[in-house]
Amino acid sequence: MKICILPGDGIGPEIVAEAVRVLRVLRALQLDCELEEGLLGGCAVDATGEPYPEATQRLAQQADAVLLGAVGGPQWDSLPRAQRPERGLLGIRQQLGLFANLRPAILYPELAGASTLKPEVVAGLDMLIVRELTGDIYFGQPRGIETRVVDGRPQRFAFNTMHYSEDEIRRILRVAFAAARKRRRKLCSVDKMNVLETTQLWRDVANETAAEYPDVELSHLLVDNAAMQLVRNPSQFDVLVTGNMFGDILSDEAAMLTGSIGMLPSASLDANNKGLYEPCHGSAPDIAGRGVANPLATILSAAMMLRYTFAQEDAARRIEDAVRKVLADGYRTADIYQPGTRKVGTRAMGDAVLAALTGVKE
């Protein structure tokens, strides 16, 4: 198993280091994996001038899976768009054909009080957002900012293009239906068909694809209503499937229901289960380098890697059980801290997970 490790920027290196320790412990326990590290994002721009340099492209293409921290930071925000760290992330997703982004949002009962929503509203939350990741307005051409004559005078004019082919829609719908089949067999497809043709096609293809999965109950929501339902009654959802932009927005919203975006892992898969695994949160430049970031989303992303790319369900479960145990034992990083629990930093949280994994008492 070849794993490419891309720590990235901000808190990326700190949180990835803890996930790597987890993988090394599992390796010591017979998991055969080879880790190789590369540069992606702002750190890559600083070293090579490119957010997704050739050397990293080679590593990522040769690996079976990629573990990523996070990219970006204010020091790179004024660079030309093609050199921004986010381009590196979009570039690797596109180059590897990682069209299926899985973002589970699970409420760990111990963290019910850490959510900004009332505990009774978020109780029992266990949903999976399936976001299309290589199409939509994020990649559509033409795009740009230029000067045009509008209302009789030259002014800056900006435009993006939203588009989907039916094949692109069908393949992500199939991933979502298949995922629902392994869960509670409910799939909610989210669109804006009352306004956008792209999403009218999305709804039509969703309805057509439903015929292949008669055992899964398909429903539809308009995205504005979906955003509202997520905070009104989130446990109505099992699997939610949507396009790239709506999925970006709704997955951050769903993350917050669980108490902290610092808890949420993600998988981005191609058609053969090669995957890139990353926490849903960003590079958090404000707390970078201070050793206080929550490494659990990245550790849980490593668990998703073992499950989806390497079909090592047992090893994935071991990691997830270890995370449950440290939460039950009261360990909390600052983002999920509540009075009465034990506040720890990034490394100590990693230590606790390792101890839980190996069964060794601290």
Identify which of residues 21 and 84 has a Cβ nearer to Mg ion in the complex: 84
Partner touching 86 among ligand IPM, Mg ion, none, CB below 5 to 8 Å by kind: ligand IPM
Note whether 248 binds ligand IPM by CB under 6 A. yes
| CA–CA separation, 191 and 178 (whole Å) | 20
Beta carbon of residue 246, minimum distance to ligand IPM (angstroms, whole number):
11
Q: How far is CA 331 from the centre of its chain?
A: 23
Reply yes or no on whether 224 is catalytic. yes
Identify which of residues 230 and 356 has a Cβ nearer to ligand IPM in the complex: 230
Identify which of residues 111 and 133 has a Cβ nearer to ligand IPM in the complex: 133
Identify which of residues 264 and 348 has a Cβ nearer to ligand IPM in the complex: 264
What is the 8-class DSSP label of residue 125?
A: -
Considering only residues 78 through 117, tell me which ones interact with ligand IPM, judged by CB under 6 A.
86, 89-90
| CA–CA separation, 325 and 323 (whole Å) | 5
**134 Cβ neighbours under 8 A, 6+ residues apart:** 93, 94, 97, 98, 99, 168, 244
Q: Which of 9, 191, 238, 248 does the annotation list as catalytic?
A: 248
Q: What are phi and psi of 191, to 5 degrees?
A: -145, -170
Partner touching 319 among ligand IPM, Mg ion, none, CB below 5 to 8 Å by kind: none
Partner touching 253 among Mg ion, ligand IPM, none, CB below 5 to 8 Å by kind: none
Chain residue at closest Cβ approach to ligand IPM:
86
| CA–CA separation, 127 and 258 (whole Å) | 10
Identify which of residues 123 and 256 has a Cβ nearer to Mg ion in the complex: 256
Partner touching 226 among Mg ion, ligand IPM, none, CB below 5 to 8 Å by kind: none
Reply yes or no on whether 252 is catalytic. yes
Indicate the burial class of 139 (C-beta count within 10 angstroms; 0-12, 13-18, 19 or more): middle
Beta carbon of residue 198, minimum distance to ligand IPM (angstroms, whole number):
18
Beta carbon of residue 219, minimum distance to ligand IPM (angstroms, whole number):
24
**295 Cβ neighbours under 8 A, 6+ residues apart:** 14, 15, 17, 18, 19, 333, 346, 349, 350, 353
Under 8 Å between Cβ of 177 and 209: yes
Reply yes or no on whether 118 is catalytic. no
Reply yes or no on whether 151 is catalytic. no
Residues that bind Mg ion (CB under 5 A): 248
Partner touching 89 among Mg ion, ligand IPM, none, CB below 5 to 8 Å by kind: ligand IPM
Reply yes or no on whether 46 is catalytic. no
Beta carbon of residue 248, minimum distance to Mg ion (angstroms, whole number):
4
DSSP strands (E only) in the chain: 2-8, 34-37, 65-70, 100-106, 126-132, 144-150, 153-159, 186-191, 217-222, 239-242, 265-269, 275-279, 331-332, 342-343
Indicate the burial class of 205 (C-beta count within 10 angstroms; 0-12, 13-18, 19 or more): buried
Interface residues with ligand IPM (CB under 6 A) are 86, 89-90, 248
Q: Enumerate the active-site residues.
A: 138, 192, 224, 248, 252
